[in-house]
Chains A and B, each alone.
Chain A
Amino acid sequence: MSPVPWQRLDPRMLLVHPIKEVAKFLPVLIGLLVAGGASGTGPWALLGVGIPVGLGVVRYLTTTYRIADGRVELQRGLLQRHTLSTPVDRVRTVDLTASPVHRLLGLATVVIGTGSVVSDSDERLVLDALPREEAARLRTELLLTTVRADAGPLATDDHVEQEQVVARFSPRWLWYAPFSGTALVGLGAILATAAQVNESVQIRFSEEDLAAVDLTFVVGVVLAAIVLVVALAVGGYLVTNGGFVLSRYGAAWHVRRGLLTRRETSIDVARLAGVSVGEPAALRVARGRRVGAIVTGLSGDQSGSAVLLPPAPRGTGYDVAAAVLGTPAPVTAPLLPHGRAATTRRYSRALIGALPLVAAATLAVLAGGPAWLLAGAVAAVGAALALATDRARALGHGYVDGHVVMRSGSVLRSRDAVAAGHVIGWNQRATWFQRRAGLVALAATTAGGKGQVRVPDVPTKAAITLAEAATPGLVGQFLEDR
């Protein structure tokens, strides 16, 4: 058998890199041009353009890849040669990313996710860039091989010839943008910009300026800030999620999104351990949900790869989760509550959190401080009680239709479902207080996501029932009658 030839990237990437490099060098270039214009040394400006173009050519000439003997191999580097090699059946995800420049040229960057914990950019399997069709073909080949390697009759069932679209972007989704995390990012950006401007311009307020501040002005500023935050959130949401499509094709789920930079993530069906339905407080108010995938071998911090649905209507969220899990029950069925002891703990913990504030306010008032400080303490207790009520209501677990389901949290509530076959162990943690109350924090460990799905304060017997239902015999052999 003749060796499989090494393949090059698409020569059109020669255009991508110079354009990007020039953009990166733009400040330097302008500086050079200005300096050149002033002192009359033209050649230096040419050097500024030549270096990035040269780097692009070198990268093109030195980067080659191939798929041979069941391995993906990538060589790169001029002076320091790197050869990366990984078995094809270890490929968990394949990402196709196309920046506006790439899209203009009909190219896409391929990122191959193997689930290794290497974060060094030198060690990642990245092909920048291939022709669009070649990239899609490579993706199909990589993910198909994965399924074949796993073999079994399941693999053929998993294979879908016709692309099935499960969810598609709708302009109505923009309603959820201000209720998602992007709104907070927008607020942060505004505050940071304001601070920066203030620092560089050194705005000074005179007595008259402060006297001129009335209610209308304050309301105006607040309204302007809200409008700005909403606009930023909606804009950010649109840029990230515009053109979103979730579909099933071949042996993988495909997520396409991005208005400018188009990103396509493909998740091997066999590696999809479960889903996490995010229902943070703000999104609950807007009746929205988000859905993430728990993927074997893909850690939680590569969160961009695990999105199955950005903030979207609740119904769509449930539909997506049901389609991915193959059954709607894990995300819709009622869960077992954790009972009185767990509820009591939610309240005591929240109140203990509020205690320092109350103590500080009381001491301050006793020492002659203003009485309204006590109102603040009351408000803190009220907030703690509300939080505790919501947290207690969130607690739930269950074994539903072949999935371990756990729900907890208030501000950042999520409902996680992991298929029983992907549970690779159980952790039970209990402090002295929890042991006295007959509760444990139960975690089902899995090879994907954060490494576990976890719920606090499960009654000990319910924890065993859940573990026995999901992994029969595993925990059962360590029981005793008491």
Chain B
Amino acid sequence: MSQLRDPAHRVSPRALLMWHVESGISALAVATGLGVAAVLLGPDGLRWWLLGLAVVVCATVAVVVPRWRYAVHRWEVSANAVYTQRGWWAQERRIAPMSRVQTVDLAQGPLARLFGLATVTVTTASAAGPLQIEGLDRPVALALVDELTLKADLVAGDAT
């Protein structure tokens, strides 16, 4: 019996590095907060253990989650559809026919700009969420936007 396969393309390998940096920064912040709380509020004898636990958990998350995300994040554009996969613990696959694409959006955050990456967001008329591809190389993202715009333009109607 057939099953839904992963989309064909991975995102840029630099996205892995960017996600490491991103999660490293937030893990550091969370670990600091938790650590301070543990040392100040924790019961005697236990506080240093709590601090250690907070650091280990945050470090694990910071190392594991970006790799997991990189393994999951994939995308594919066929002649008549867009197919994306993202997430890590909870993973979401979204498929939208080209005829229903309303807008194609390219965005670069400050960190993404540093790494030369971009996010492409494809919206349909549904309020249930757009299709998002994070961590594309900027040239790839630009080419993708052009391709999608061209293909979506070929279809008449108001895409609802």
Residues of A whose CB lies within 8 Å of any CB of B are 90, 296-297, 299-300, 424-432, 435, 443, 445-447, 450-452, 454, 460-461, 464, 467, 471, 473-475, 477-482
Contact = CB atoms under 8 A, between A and B. Distances in A.
Interface string B70-96: 000000101011010001011111111
Contact of B95 (A299, A300, A452, A474): A474
B4 interface: yes
Contact of B126 (A425, A429, A464): A425
A460 B4 contact: yes
Nearest to A300: B127
A410 B128 CA distance: 22
Nearest to A299: B127
Contacts of A427: 92-95, 128-129
A447 B128 CA distance: 9
25 contacts: A90-B158, A299-B127, A424-B100, A424-B125, A424-B126, A425-B131, A426-B95, A427-B129, A428-B92, A428-B94, A429-B93, A430-B90, A430-B91, A430-B92, A445-B126, A447-B160, A452-B126, A454-B128, A464-B2, A464-B3, A475-B95, A478-B4, A478-B78, A479-B4, A482-B3
A369 B76 CA distance: 60
B7 interface: yes
Given A445-B124, A478-B4, A425 B94 contact: yes
Contacts of A481: 1-3
Given A296-B160, A425-B95, A426-B94, A480 B81 contact: no
A276 to B, nearest CB: 15
B4 A452 contact: no
B29 interface: no
Nearest 5 A/B pairs, CB to CB: A451-B127, A447-B125, A451-B128, A452-B128, A445-B126
Contacts of B83: 478
B67 to A, nearest CB: 15
Contacts of A480: 2-3, 5
A478 to B, nearest CB: 5
Contact of A478 (B76, B87, B89, B131): B76
Interface in B1-56: 1-5, 7
Contacts of A299: 127
B125 to A, nearest CB: 4
Contacts of A431: 89-91
A375 B30 CA distance: 41
Contacts of B1: 461, 481-482
A475 B96 CA distance: 9
Contact of B128 (A296, A297, A432, A450): A450
Given A424-B159, A432-B90, A450-B128, 14 more contacts: A296-B125, A296-B160, A297-B160, A425-B94, A425-B131, A427-B93, A428-B92, A445-B128, A446-B126, A451-B126, A464-B3, A474-B95, A478-B76, A482-B3
B96 A425 contact: yes
Contacts of A90: 158
A297 B2 contact: no
Nearest to B81: A474
B116 interface: no
B160 A471 contact: no
A479 B2 contact: yes
With most chain A CB atoms within 10 A of its CB, the pick from B2, B87, B97, B160 is: B160
Given A297-B160, A424-B96, A427-B94, A447 B126 contact: yes
A297 to B, nearest CB: 6
Contacts of A482: 1-3
Nearest to B2: A479
Contacts of A461: 1, 3
B127 A429 contact: no
Contacts of A460: 3-4
Interface in B121-150: 124-129, 131
A443 B2 CA distance: 20
Contacts of B81: 474, 477-478
With most chain B CB atoms within 10 A of its CB, the pick from A297, A427, A464 is: A427
Nearest to B159: A424
A465 B98 CA distance: 21
A475 B127 contact: no
A471 B97 contact: yes
B138 to A, nearest CB: 26
Contacts of A297: 125, 160
A225 B124 CA distance: 49
A479 B5 contact: yes
Nearest to A438: B3
A447 B160 CA distance: 6
A435 B13 CA distance: 26
A232 B1 CA distance: 56
